[in-house]
Chain A
């Protein structure tokens, strides 16, 4: 048994890289700094190591050949999931380019809310180290931060020392919308977060009201969605008085129509505060299991984030039209390739299409795909790179064990070669 330290996690999105893991053959045990997200993801035992074709064990070569056969002469294959590391995504895009496929990241419907806001008006954002050292006021809009990332507060807010704060325990935390599910947001000195609750569907009104107050507009209403205007005014005043406030949101949690407008309202609040002579930054949550990786690699390879169609011989981007789920449901696709190297519970939708799954070992199916090729997990079975949620930092993933499982990149490149 060996212990490997300073292990980065691709699972939580927040880039924890201080895990220690005991490796015993192919079994892993997180010994230090595990959490509800990372520990089970690292410790999940290897289930299957053999590819299957039509449910029967097959060699990797045979499975690759079958996958190539299913993709050959298709008119509109779709590649869903896109949950892998940088090299996996590189190979995925090469295969998509060759087959004229649609590429669609599994969490694009959530990421789209951010992308639409970005592509319409832009934003001012910050990254984790700035937050860790500067943030004196954190406003969390519509997200349960500690459920999203159990170690966020411990690692980035209640750090013992910050470069530019006398006492990190004095940071002020305000929740607007969802209440926190636990008490990680309570500072080590016992200072509790202020919580102003409303339903998700009221967030458009609440953020609009806050936006108006930031701009100095007078509101006639006394409350919005049960939150007193005076409370929102207090938030506005605090944002303006802070030295470096951060407004955090989680696009995945904003699951109502046109939530991109709420994201845009939040981003505009941040920009307006910066125009009023103090600093404020936005911070979007996201980036688990290769979300940012997919968007980043697709971004430099095609110019667009990871929902593109190569059918015409060049990448086309449409954040609505090329929804792989809808395309499969609507009969617009003629083959499905599902790539998910991190999470064996994230399975492809059921369909009658020829289906190839390149997935984490242990994936169970309601309907056996035509081809299943179990692959190694980046950061466990092979080295790689994954992007953190703040989109700037690519973490170097380590290989922890010799499982013999191929990487996503190896499998997808082999399929491409076999075409």
Chain B
């Protein structure tokens, strides 16, 4: 079937197209060149006057894995406020802070998103992450595998194993857990918490292993580079949420010594200690550091006001933050000599000085980082806010007067501590398309996604332009996933199943000579049972795997 999207105003930054009117053709799920063989168009959509972008990609969103289910179980009261009835084509569920999987898939699609990436896949919990994401309709998905607090790596580092052996272990883990990138959370800190360390700064040693977060970051960043992963090491830094952590973050940027590094939810790592409340914005310094270090990318982790729940692998920091839990209940877990998790409900309030300044800091970073290819639109769902707040966030970025109206309503002392009012920048459609589409696909290493040129998969979102950008981005006219119309007028009209994006880096099989006895002696599962097989993803008939080439490969 040949589908023609006629006359839309196209924003396709990957192809250098910035608001030009053009037709798009779709055949067999992919975008194709205008047919020259006179083939008839089977279906035509008149998109004249409408804005066309590729499907949006959330490169950091907690949509799969055990901590999400803990968060769900912890907050029945939050679900009760947002029940989602079944329809003749969609399943029922619940929404708001941590929606059920089906609802998350529908809601993402209804906002024009066609892919989401879970950034904290604990290897031992990877099966669950994939099973949850497997129950998330429409979206493509994938995960970054969490390392850096696993005892095997720290033992290797203490034993001064060479980088090649570590690379083999990292590649082995990626394959076993079926990920597309490597994530590190509070490098070594989750592990240190198990030895009763309550904080771990960049150059502080693990009490048992004598390695520092800086060494772990360098080792893993090098592994990612040498294995050839496209996605840089995905780093949740030390000292999340700690006033003064801007210094740690700047130090981390320097510490990685020019290797590619992605700093995630950087808003939570950009705090100074100035002012009466000993809490201030480090956004300008962070933005300057990003601007001047081309190896660094970041996503923001914007907070937005209201009830949410924070779900993190960083149980060291989550334990420290439990006193802010609202409602007052929280979960921390140590997990399988692999990692940990902490789940703490939060209610961000615009009249709370710290929360209000956090809000401003995130926006400052968005607006002060110059290159939209290196900054990404996230709320660190659900940590900063549920992903359903993205259209509101887009309006804050695109509409200065709206932003300043909102600024005028927050805690007055926070208003005094931010330079937000003086920042004139308004994001353009092209820049929004970069940070939510083209840039995201590029940094994750997705071939054939995030662009509208011939050969790409036809993930396409069509909006009616509206001066109220929130309204515009809340309800696309059409969303196509792999060429199929899945959303019309903001409502799911067809349920499809996306693919799971992975990489398959090679490794020296002899790494299993070390891993097998480690599993037998210390862990609770046999090595063979730990590895996730392809059929686990595909056996239910819905899932599939899409392996992407490594960097430098064809």
Contacts and interface: CB of A to CB of B under 8 A. Distances in A.
Interface of A: 6, 8, 15, 17-18, 86-87, 90, 94, 97-98, 115, 118-130, 132-134, 155-156, 159-164, 243-244, 274, 277-279, 281, 295-297, 299-305, 310, 312-317, 383, 385, 391-396
Nearest to A313: B85
Given A118-B74, A383-B539, A314 B85 contact: yes
A120 B73 CA distance: 11
A8 B128 CA distance: 17
A180 B194 CA distance: 29
A304 B92 contact: no
* B interface SS class: mixed
B522 A133 contact: yes
Nearest to A14: B524
Given A17-B526, A119-B76, A313-B86, A277 B132 contact: no
Which of A8, A122, A278 gathers most chain B CB within 10 Å? A122
B425 interface: no
A127 B94 contact: no
Interface of B: 66, 68-69, 72-76, 79-80, 83-86, 91-94, 98-102, 122, 124-125, 127-128, 131-132, 135, 151, 155, 193-196, 208, 319, 325, 328-338, 343, 521-526, 528-529, 532-533, 535-536, 539-540
Nearest to B339: A392
Given A119-B74, A310-B92, A315-B83, A300 B329 contact: no
A160 to B, nearest CB: 8
Nearest to B66: A392
Contact of B529 (A6, A127, A315): A6
A132 B91 CA distance: 41
Contacts of B521: 159-161
Given A130-B334, A313-B85, A393-B525, 6 more contacts: A122-B325, A128-B524, A132-B524, A133-B522, A244-B194, A302-B92
Nearest to A280: B196
A393 B69 contact: no
Given A6-B528, A304-B94, A395-B525, A299 B334 contact: no
Contact of B72 (A124, A300, A313, A392): A300
Given A301-B135, A303-B94, A315-B92, A393 B194 contact: no
B522 A161 contact: yes
Which of B94, B98, B325, B533 gathers most chain A CB within 10 Å? B94
A53 to B, nearest CB: 28
A129 B85 contact: no
B523 to A, nearest CB: 5
B74 A122 contact: yes
A383 to B, nearest CB: 7
A391 B65 CA distance: 11
A134 B195 CA distance: 9
A133 B195 CA distance: 12
Contact of B99 (A123, A125, A297, A303): A303
B495 to A, nearest CB: 12
Contacts of B335: 126-127, 130, 392
B78 to A, nearest CB: 8
Contacts of A15: 524-525
Contacts of A396: 127, 529, 532-533, 536
28 contacts: A15-B524, A118-B73, A127-B333, A127-B334, A127-B335, A132-B523, A133-B522, A134-B194, A161-B522, A163-B522, A279-B193, A279-B195, A299-B72, A300-B68, A300-B69, A300-B72, A300-B131, A302-B93, A313-B86, A313-B92, A315-B94, A315-B100, A317-B76, A383-B535, A383-B539, A385-B127, A392-B128, A392-B336
B290 to A, nearest CB: 35
Contact of A129 (B80, B328, B522): B522
B337 A130 contact: yes
Which of A155, A162, A396 gathers most chain B CB within 10 Å? A396
B102 A301 contact: yes
B93 A301 contact: yes
Interchain residue pairs A-B with the least CB separation, the first 7: A303-B94, A313-B85, A122-B329, A129-B336, A303-B79, A314-B83, A394-B127
Contacts of B522: 129, 132-133, 161-163
B331 A123 contact: yes
Which of A86, A129, A132, A155 gathers most chain B CB within 10 Å? A129
A15 B135 CA distance: 24
A125 to B, nearest CB: 5
